[in-house]
Amino acid sequence: MAAPLEYLDVQCPYCGETFAVEVDISAGTQQTIEDCRVCCAPAELYIRIDEEGNIVDVQVSGANT
């Protein structure tokens, strides 16, 4: 069975462009670093996921701020 992946649109804290990231919602609340698809800068993502597997909060920040 495939992992329950969901696509999430996040806004890059550096260039302001929006790009999609893949989130494994079965992993629960997670913190990850994704490179911006546009400017390649590393954006730090904090994704809060509830017990039912819903994404309830997403925070994006620059890794060096």
Helices assigned H by DSSP within the chain? none
Exposed/middle/buried for 43, CB within 10 Å: 0-12, 13-18, 19+?
buried
**What is the total count of residues that contact Zn ion (CB under 5 A)?**
6
- Rounded distance, CA 57 to CA 14, Å? 20
Binding mask 1-40 for Zn ion (x = CB under 5 A): -----------x-xx--------------------x-xx-
Q: Considering the complex, what minimum distance in angstroms separates the CB of residue 14 from Zn ion? A: 4
Residues that bind Zn ion (CB under 5 A): 12, 14-15, 36, 38-39
